[in-house]
Every structure is written in C-alpha cells, then in structure tokens.
Structure 1
Amino acid sequence: MPLYHHLRTDVKVAENSFHQHDDKVQLVYIHSGCCIISSRSDSTLAVNGQLLWIPAGVEHRLEVLKSTTFSVLFSAPNELPMFSNNMCGLTVNGLFVSLMEYINEIELTEVDDIPAHYLAVLKDQISQLSIKEQGYKATGEIDRRLLPVIQSLTLKPDIKLSLEDFTESCGASTRTLNRMFQKCFEQPFRSLRLQIVMEKALQLNRQGIPHTEVALELGYNSLSAFSTVFNKYLRDKKI
C-alpha cells in the first residue's frame, strides 16, 4: 500500500477499546494540541511537533484532546524502516516539519490531495528518522483530572502557566495537582511544562519563525531569557 495520510482537526476522539493494525504501520504527527496513545501498560503524550511510531500488530488506544490538529499516516510495514517493535517517538527535522506544516496550512486531508513529489519527499524523510527519547510517558492511565491542564498547556504552551489557574476546574489544590503529575509522569509539573514549551519552540524554530516571535509566543519576557533556556535544552537533548 502507498503512504496514506489523513488530517484531522478540531475533534475530540476517545477510542473505547484497544485495537491493532496487523497489515500496516501507523505514524501520528501533532500539529497542535495533544494525543494520548495508550498501551496495556502505559500512556504516552504526543504534543506539538512530535511524531509517534506504532508498529503493525501492537495493541493501542488513541485519545485526542479537544481542538487538537493531527495527521495520521499509514504504510505497509515493508515500505518503511522497522524503527522499533514497540510504540515510540521519532526524531523530526526541519524539512519534515515544513512538509507537515504545508499539509496543515492548505488542509490536504487525504493522500490523493498531496502532490506526488511532496509525498515522495515525505516518505524519504520518514525513512531517515530515528528513535527519540520520549519524556511524557505515564505508568498506566493518566489521571483524568490532569487533562484540563494538559490540554491548555499543549494547545497554547506558555512558560508562565500555573497550576493555580486550574484548582477550581480540576477540583484539587495546587499541591495535589503537582503530586498527581509527579505520580503519573515521575516529574513535577514545572519540569513537564518546560519540556512541552521547549518542544513547541523546536517546532516553531524548524518552521523558520524568528526567535523573538517564538519567545513572545511562549511567554518569555525577553529574548535572552528564552535563548538561555532553549540553548540549554538543545545541548541536554543533543539536538
């Protein structure tokens, strides 16, 4: 089968049961927002600019948070490298992100809408990707009370976003919410917030957006403050 693409936007999807695709591999790219991909043992957040690999024959369940825009790509297993026998994140580069942004901007919802030369380049770029360390994996299911926070943070990443903004809607104190993040993701909210903000910065940077605009969009008061954190993130992640 050829590379098949489907663009979905402004939908909320929650699959009730686990399923698998025995004859095809699946990739999920997040343009904006967040998807939660669950296996029998854990759950993984896929956020802005991230790409997830789901191999053939692996049980999974997909939940898409409200207002998320994402692309789903399918391919025969022999058409792409076997990155892993398990679900995992994949690296993306500037050309891949630019191609996905082009698809999103002009709303190419089906593979037949994508010019053949773009499709060939997209497939070639996917073949050159590698496994990426995934920092948003939770043991078991993610506590539903955290979803309003995750949705707000991934739809509009902001370094100033505070748990205090969600105590009423989540029905829990700031301290309780932070404990829940620590329990689910083995890291406090501040750490997860920084990673999601930096992943958005990476996505915008790969789209060629000037750093000054990126810094302002992500809630930083100055370019120097943003640059210091962003450059450290790149060094730590060896990007």
Structure 2
Amino acid sequence: MKAMILAAGKGERLRPLTLHTPKPLVQAGGQPLIEYHVRALAAAGFDELVINHAWLGQQIEDYLGDGARFGVRIAYSAEGEPLETGGGIFRALPLLGDAPFLVVNGDIWTDYDFAALRRPLPAAAHLVLVDNPAHHPHGDFHLHAGLVSDASAAQPCLTYSGIAVLAPALFAGCQPGAFKLAPLLRQAMAAGQVSGEHYAGRWVDVGTHERLAEVERLVMEPR
C-alpha cells in the first residue's frame, strides 16, 4: 500500500512562520511536522510515499529528497496552485496506482499507528475519526457500527482526523482542477460505502500558534 501526505497548504494562520517556510516544514520539538509522518509511515511499513505541494514546495523536496535517508521512496506531485484536497489527490492518482492508498494531512500531529490501516479496504473509503477538539466542537461525521454517515443534529458526531484510506474508484468521473474531497465522501456515505474507526489517542490539528505550542508540549512529555 502506498501513502500520500497532503502538503500543499499555505498555513496563513501560522504567519510569520510560514511566510518563508512551507507549513509542513514548520518545526515542533526540533523536527518538521512532515518528518513525523514520514518516519511514522516508514516504521509502519509504508515504503512508497507521494507528497503533493504548492506554496514553497521546492523546500519540501530539498529537505526530504528521495526519501532514502528515511528508508522510503518519495514521489512528488507539484501543483502550480493549490487544488484543494480532492483535486490534489486526483492529480496524484497516476503516482498512487490502482490499489487503495493511505492519505494523511501534512498539518496534523498524531501518535496514531499507521500500520493499523494496512489491511483490505471493505468500502470506497475508511476514515479515522477523533474526539471533537475545542475549535471544532460539532464534529464532521457520525460513526455507528463501523460505518460513517453525514452529520445530523440528532446524532453525536466525531471529527475527521485527516487520516484515511481511499480507493481510486472514489474519484471516478472527476475532472482535473480544484475540488474538495468531502462531497465525494458524502456521496459514498449515502451509498453505505464509507467505513470508519474512532481513535482516542493523541492528535492535534496544527492550524494555529497555540496548537503548535500544544504539539511542542506533547512531543516533550513522556508517553
């Protein structure tokens, strides 16, 4: 199974850190955010990675190189301008192949064990959901009996972690350009084709300076 790290975001809320540094290379605990993913994926047995980038993306390529020093092979999908999550993944599909692949947002930090996702995909997508953080109290999706459905006022929801396994068929009929992933997922949910799991471990969406400081604290404290 291949894995894709989404690294095309501009990270405007982390300015001035991201004025001259791409968000995935912002450091926490003395290590760039994206390096945590690369090392964790390698440890989980993923040796073929695809990374998309846009804003200052050459810096990401210069830092990670071909991945050899991490024990992986890295291919890059450069975007002239951000294509959003769906469009970025669609553009990278030729690099990802015909089998289901793992995808992880480059701007999260977590201790999730990616090896848990190296198993057959029973549906069009499998999402890892987490408890709702303070900045996103209402969550995204409902999880029941291993299936994920769209948010409803009558149902408790969890937050999408930015970690998933996707089947290439999820993008059937899509066209090149910028588009979001969520509508594709909701369409698959309506057909009962999205499975999920609830992860209760450590996870941070590193979108602000305050949350970056939280990662710094988590990295330094003993497990």
TMscore range, shorter length: under 0.3
TM score, norm. by length of structure 2: 0.26
TM-score, normalised to structure 1, is: 0.25
Q: Which has the higher helix share?
A: 1
